[in-house]
Structure 1
Amino acid sequence: MDYDPRHDSRPVQFDPFKSCTVPRPIGWLSTISTQGVLNLAPYSQWQNMTFDPPMVMFAANRYPDGRKKDTVVNAIETGWFVWNMATWDLRDAVNRSAQAFPADIDEFVEAGVTATESVYAPAPRVAESPCHF
């Protein structure tokens, strides 16, 4: 398949760039704002970058009006985010956290999961998730 997103219509139901990049496991990122509001959102554009030292990165689009997403703002302002493993058992909570909530809403509450203290990061982790970076 040859696909030029500048000129071609989509030859498959979903964007070929996304459809052909598989598997795309979901990274469930938690952050905290400088005002202390908890943020939780799923991202499929994440990856481990290095193993020594261990580093994780993510990429996020902006909102249609050009604003940065809360996860990005919080990570930039605090220097931290926590990656939480999104499992099948947590799928409903992950889907709830995918909504675009206002920045002053605690998304752990909206998702129905427990925020627990992280070991090093100021942002909390999802207690129900089995693995965190």
Structure 2
Amino acid sequence: MLLDFASLPPLEAYRWLASTVTPRPIAWVSSLSAEGVSNLAPFSFFQVISDQPPTLMVNVGSRDDGSLKDTLRNVQATGELVIQLVTFAHAEAMNASAVMLAHGVSEFEHCGIASEPSSKVRPPRVAGAVVTFECALAEAMPYPREQPNCHLIFAQVLLAHIDDAVLNEQGRVDAAKLDLVGRLGGSSYTRTRDLFSLQRPS
């Protein structure tokens, strides 16, 4: 099969990309509006892009009507966000937080998701998340620049919370203990419990 992306409708292009570039980690992003209302939403177009400075990138698409999602509006207004990684234990709550709510309604409250204060930024973090990154906005770049349909949020990591329960005897992250979920195509997800190792050639 050959796919000419220049001739594919946007939805078809998305479906092919989302079902092949897998598994994708999920950024569970909490933010705070200028009025102080908390927001929580998952995004699977997400990756670490730099270690110096430590930077994560989250792609936040526009709504169907072209308006900006609350996550982007909040981050642009306050310059702060918190990115949680999603474990299997939090999968249902993460999915629930993807609900479309009116601006000014908190997903934390609507979905009954417990929160706790962050240390360096104002947005709250998800209570019980095993990996949390408190971040400052480095840049929010519209893409593509000519006719943007999304924004790329470059988030500089200020502080990380790592649950001791996911560490091994050497104090490093044990991938099996993390038990993260990754996004596949459609409504399918996977877990990071099926592991194998490869040694990089010298």
Q: In structure 1, what is the Cα distance between the partners aligned to 2:47 and 2:21? A: 12
The secondary structure found in structure 1 opposite 2:94 is helix
Q: In structure 1, what is the Cα distance between the partners aligned to 2:54 and 2:64? A: 33
Tell me which residue corresponds to 2:189: none
Return the offset for 1:86.
1.0
Tell me which residue corresponds to 2:58: 58
TM-score (norm 2): 0.61
- Equivalent residues of 2:85, 2:131 under 8 A apart: yes
Q: Percent identity?
A: 34
Q: In structure 1, what is the Cα distance between the partners aligned to 2:40 and 2:114? A: 11
- Equivalent residues of 1:96, 1:110 under 8 A apart: no
TM-score (norm 1): 0.90
- Equivalent residues of 1:41, 1:71 under 8 A apart: yes
Q: In structure 2, what is the Cα distance between the partners aligned to 1:48 and 1:84? A: 13
Unaligned stretches of 5+ residues in structure 1? none
- Which aligned pairs between 1:30-45 and structure 2 lie closer than 5 A? 30-45=30-45
AA in 2 matched with 1:76: Q
- Equivalent residues of 1:81, 1:123 under 8 A apart: yes
Q: Any idea what the Cα deviations from partners look like across 1:39-81, whole Å, max 9, x if unmatched?
A: 0000001111211221111111111111100000001111111
- Which aligned pairs between 1:20-35 and structure 2 lie closer than 5 A? 20-35=20-35
- Equivalent residues of 2:27, 2:86 under 8 A apart: yes
Q: Any idea what the Cα deviations from partners look like across 1:14-46, whole Å, max 9, x if unmatched?
A: 711111111111110000000000000000011
Q: In structure 2, what is the Cα distance between the partners aligned to 1:8 and 1:73? A: 30
Aligned length: 131
Return the offset for 1:131.
0.9
**Runs in 1 of length 4+ with deviation above 3 angstroms?**
none
The secondary structure found in structure 2 opposite 1:59 is strand
Return the offset for 1:125.
0.6
Q: Any idea what the Cα deviations from partners look like across 1:63-111, whole Å, max 9, x if unmatched?
A: 1111100000001111111101111111111111001111111111122
Tell me which residue corresponds to 1:116: 116
Tell me which residue corresponds to 1:7: 7
Unaligned stretches of 5+ residues in structure 2? 134-202
More strand by share: 2
Q: In structure 2, what is the Cα distance between the partners aligned to 1:130 and 1:26? A: 13
Corresponding position: 1:78 with 2:78 = yes
- Equivalent residues of 2:25, 2:47 under 8 A apart: no
Q: Any idea what the Cα deviations from partners look like across 1:96-133, whole Å, max 9, x if unmatched?
A: 10011111111111222112111111111101211101
Return the offset for 1:8.
4.2
AA in 2 matched with 1:94: M
